[in-house]
Structure 1
Amino acid sequence: MDIIGSQKILTFTSRGQIASLTSCAIRKAKALKVTSYMDLATRVAELQFRNRDFVPLFRGQSTDHKNIFGYTTLKPTILRAPGTGKVPTDTALNQRFKKLVAAEKALVDEYEAQEMLGRERLARQRILRWAILQHYEICRTPLLDVTQSLRIAASFASQDGSKEAFVFVLGIPNISGAITASAEAGLQTIRLASVCPPSAVRPHLQEGYLLGEYPEFASAEQKLLYPMPRWILVAG
């Protein structure tokens, strides 16, 4: 993916109340404080208007995770090492990828046994297997959960009842079909409603999407610090 700051974007920071051109400094800035859901929705509306070449997707978290330099990071579960700000060790990564491969096989076998819709496509496309395993938290994957619904993101961010909650607004180049791959941005966007069978109700209700590298990295040897999408508002 493009690292934030590689292109000109209009967004908010804690220093200003009007969306303006910024760079990767936003990753180090404090979150923009909002006082209500309507305040958040109004800010997002301005971002959508001013960044019309991008499609907004949202992620809600109870914490703003920082790297060792104090920069905000959004990492897929397979690359997280909680409390350190670093990537996991080589040993941990190898173990996680082995578990992921085993989970993929079990998922394909179960789809075949149950004769579920989409089993042929699932067997062919690894990214679809990752999407289902990540969404249902079966094991760690190289994908990041997001949603097209601001309400859903805000709900996830505040579900533990803490005083602070964080909503990230991510600018995606485009979305079309079940899987959208952008070679220019190095990004894949997976729409869960087009991946999961109709019997899986949750992905449809949550308007779930997943983001991943394109082309995807599939082993510990390909590990990289997971870069951030192109523009972002962090609202606390």
Structure 2
Amino acid sequence: MRKIEKAFSHLNLQEKWNDKGSADWKYERDNKKILKSDPYLIATYKELVEAVAQISFYNQDYVLFFRGQDQDYKNSEDKTTILPTIYREREKNVSITERFEKFEEATKGVVKSFQQNPNKFAGTSDLIKYQELQWAIVQHYNIAETPVIDLTHSLHVAASFAQKDADDYGVIHVLGMPNFTNTISYYTNEEVAIIRLIAFGPPKASRLFMQEAYAAAPFPFSTLVNKTDINKFDFSRRLIAKFLIPNSEDFWGEGFTRLPDRLLLPEIDKIRDFLTPHLIDEDAFWDYFSNNS
């Protein structure tokens, strides 16, 4: 994945708002400084919208996407990391190859379930045809570790997720992506693919639409199992800004409120219900697919 070497970031805003007499705030900051910096504390949602508006204005070559998290995760070099789940060090004795074998098995199992479903969902033919959509569904419904990350175009959704599991503060990451026009867009120069789930996912997948969901993956896909290039698959290479927001109702101010879990993760989701028998218990999930593959 190509790195955004320099960008107008939260560091620029911090300097602009803290030092009115300096013109240096306009100069773009390099990726290393952005990753090593602390998120910029924002007190209210209105301030967040205004900050992102300026970030967008000074980064017109990119489309901005957002991720809300409970904290700013750092690697051993004290840099922000946004690795897809399949590359994260959770089980050190499990190789990348083994993880991809499990991921591929899960994907095949999900596809077979949709194929064998007598009551076909709208969008089933696309899901069976396009592996990128299969990957996004496996990722978005937490079926297995994947090389895909979840993104949203909605700052409101991202801020709600940032508060969802946070203690005192949550974090919003702002990522810069190429302009896109298709439901799946591939960028050879940028080495990234973007899946527009709100237009491509099955309409009964309520979660995708409530979250204004997109997904992104490193590209080309043939390189993804290359364990020597894991750092190239880190989406922090596309990070433009990061903000810290308080986990409180006061943050939202008048007219806004955090989207509740019942909207972010709606109970009425036909795709979730269809997949649930395989997701309740991981052992049962793998037993099911090993016996039906």
Same fold (TM over 0.5): yes
1:118-162, Cα deviation, whole Å (9 max, x unpaired): 333333322111100001111110011110000100001111251
Q: Is the CA contact (8 Å cut-off) linking 1:12 and 1:19 kept in structure 2? A: no
Choose from 214, 230, 237 the match for 1:224: 230
Residues 10, 51 of structure 1: 8 Å contact kept: yes
Query: Would you tell me which structure has more strand in proportion to its own residues?
Result: 1
- Residue 59 of structure 1 aligns with which residue? 67
TM-score normalized with structure 1 length:
0.89
Structure 1 residue 229: Cα displacement = 4.1
Q: Give the aligned CA root-mean-square deviation in angstroms.
A: 2.0
Displacement of 1:110 after TM fit? 1.3
In the alignment, what sits opposite 1:11?
9
Give me the identity figure in percent.
Answer: 32
Structure with the bigger percentage of helix: 2
Contact 1:62 1:164 in 2 (8 A): yes
1:167-202 deviation line (CA, Å, top 9, x unaligned): 001111112121111111111111112332111111
Pick the structure with greater CA Rg: 2
Cα distance in 2 between the residues matched to 1:105 and 1:81: 24
Per-residue deviation, residues 16-60 of structure 1 (Å, max 9, x unmatched):
235641102111011111111111111000011111111100000
Matched, 1:186 2:191: yes
Which TM-score applies when normalising by structure 2?
A: 0.72
Q: How does 1:121-140 map to 2 (within 5 A)?
A: 121-140=126-145
| Range with bigger deviation, 49-58 or 94-103 | 94-103
Q: Is the 8 A contact 1:11 1:19 kept in 2?
A: no
- Gap regions ≥5 residues in structure 2: 18-24, 245-293
Query: Match for 2:115: what amino acid?
Result: E
1:160-175 → structure 2 map (5 Å cutoff)? 160-175=165-180
Which residue in 1 is equivalent to 2:218? 213
Q: Whole-Å Cα distance in 2 between the matches of residues 221 and 21 of structure 1?
A: 32
- Alpha-carbon offset, residue 63 of structure 1: 1.2
Aligned length: 229
Q: Is the 8 A contact 1:90 1:220 kept in 2?
A: no
Structure 1 unmatched runs, 5+: 83-87
Deviation at 1:104, TM superposition (A): 1.0
